[in-house]
A and B are shown apart, each in its own frame.
Chain A
């Protein structure tokens, strides 16, 4: 699976990525957070050859399920082997509510293989900063929800060397599904990197 050590020279072909490409790729740290199964886990232990990362919170009924649904749909046509090479990670921006149990229940609706990560606020903040994710707790008066969280709703594609290769902006129209499918298909077919 050396193809997943995607370097700058990796994309010399005519293929045009649908996602926003980081060139050169951005090296990401091997953070440690707590999984939806309640265990401490490092990025390097997740096992994904390609990792799709998104940030959100389980109290969100609108944007976060839509993003996870888009990812699920984009992966639907992959073969079982290809799907095993793509790890989907949902990182909480709301550790106050998102315990491992809550994350587990939330993600079970989408795909039991999706990984939820939460942790100490300070650790999460450093991970968010590294990915350029903004998150802010918003106290709301006229709601039974004591607070909501504004946050960046992007998808980050990271290669096996923990290098961020691509980003996808929020897209309610759904063309992101085709964008992800196209890029995943291309990346998963590369063998000489």
Chain B
């Protein structure tokens, strides 16, 4: 009799644990709305008729979301691309269909990695210029950002991070100045030194 009671208690405990696990998974999934933030969008200067790229830092403080495409008036075609390097410094660039951003996660679009590829630029991209790019997310919908054009020589310490403030914050963003973002800004300040 005693043996049966222990078995029963164990069974109940296991069922309870299983129920808790399911709840946790549900909380971490799309039951929470995504809170996508796009920061420090920039492009290199480039000549009209050629191609360009847009880079930025993507953060998500809400539920998971997926970047599924991008648009801009400044180029004939826009695609998500990713560059990968092998051990022999051979670079391979390929189109990618989407980029997932997990709940609480971040993704860098950066030189030599993921980027928005602009094909057939309709005008020169001149340093200091800003142009709009619409990022289309599966859950969040369209998020319009402004990409700032920088001189090609400034790739690894592009200069607009220290000036990051609300006026630079891109349209379509949600609340920006949280602790994570301040850390992000500090990281880039260090990069500039």
Residues of A within 8 A of B (CB): 58-63, 65-66, 68-70, 72-73, 76, 102, 105-106, 108-110, 134, 138, 140, 142-145, 148, 150-154, 169-170, 172-174, 177
How far does the Cβ of A19 sit from chain B's closest Cβ, in whole Å?
A: 13
Residues A150 and B91 in contact, CB atoms below 8 Å apart: yes
Is B113 located at the chain interface by the 8 A CB criterion? yes
B97's contact among A60, A109, A142, A153, by CB below 8 Å, is which?
A142
- Write 26 A-B pairs (CB below 8 A) sorted by A numbering: A58-B51, A61-B52, A61-B115, A61-B118, A62-B53, A62-B93, A63-B83, A63-B111, A63-B112, A65-B152, A66-B152, A66-B155, A72-B153, A105-B49, A110-B153, A134-B88, A144-B76, A144-B119, A145-B79, A150-B91, A150-B92, A154-B89, A172-B111, A172-B113, A174-B157, A177-B156
Residues B91 and A109 in contact, CB atoms below 8 Å apart: no
Residues A109 and B117 in contact, CB atoms below 8 Å apart: no
Residues of B within 8 A of A (CB): 44-47, 49-53, 76-77, 79, 81, 83, 85, 88-95, 97, 110-113, 115, 117-119, 151-157
Residues A105 and B50 in contact, CB atoms below 8 Å apart: yes
Residues of B within 8 A of A138 (CB): 92, 94
Residues A62 and B49 in contact, CB atoms below 8 Å apart: no
Residues B53 and A61 in contact, CB atoms below 8 Å apart: yes
Complex A-B, nearest 6 residue pairs according to Cβ-Cβ distance, in ascending order: A174-B156, A172-B112, A69-B152, A61-B51, A150-B92, A73-B153
Residues A170 and B156 in contact, CB atoms below 8 Å apart: no
Known contacts A60-B51, A66-B111, A172-B110; A151/B91 CB under 8 A: yes
Residues of B within 8 A of A154 (CB): 89
Residues B155 and A69 in contact, CB atoms below 8 Å apart: yes
* Beyond A153-B90, A170-B89, 4 additional pairs, beta carbon < 8 A: A63-B91, A66-B112, A69-B44, A153-B85
Residues A108 and B47 in contact, CB atoms below 8 Å apart: yes
Residues B111 and A109 in contact, CB atoms below 8 Å apart: no
Residues A173 and B90 in contact, CB atoms below 8 Å apart: no
Residues B112 and A170 in contact, CB atoms below 8 Å apart: yes
How far does the Cβ of B180 sit from chain A's closest Cβ, in whole Å?
A: 22
Residues A152 and B81 in contact, CB atoms below 8 Å apart: no
Q: In the bound complex, what is the Cα–Cα distance between A153 and B92 (angstroms)?
A: 10
For B118, give the chain A residue with the smallest CB separation.
A61
Specify which of B46, B95, B151, B155 lies most central, judged by the most chain A CB atoms within 10 Å of its CB: B155
Residues B93 and A148 in contact, CB atoms below 8 Å apart: yes
B50's contact among A66, A68, A106, A169, by CB below 8 Å, is which?
A106
How far does the Cβ of A173 sit from chain B's closest Cβ, in whole Å?
A: 6
Residues A144 and B79 in contact, CB atoms below 8 Å apart: yes
Residues of A within 8 A of B51 (CB): 58-61
Q: In the bound complex, what is the Cα–Cα distance between A134 and B151 (angstroms)?
A: 29
How far does the Cβ of A138 sit from chain B's closest Cβ, in whole Å?
A: 7
Q: In the bound complex, what is the Cα–Cα distance between A143 and B89 (angstroms)?
A: 24
Residues of A within 8 A of B89 (CB): 152-154, 169-170
Residues A110 and B152 in contact, CB atoms below 8 Å apart: yes
How far does the Cβ of B105 sit from chain A's closest Cβ, in whole Å?
A: 21
For A73, give the chain B residue with the smallest CB separation.
B153
Residues of B within 8 A of A68 (CB): 152
How far does the Cβ of B134 sit from chain A's closest Cβ, in whole Å?
A: 18
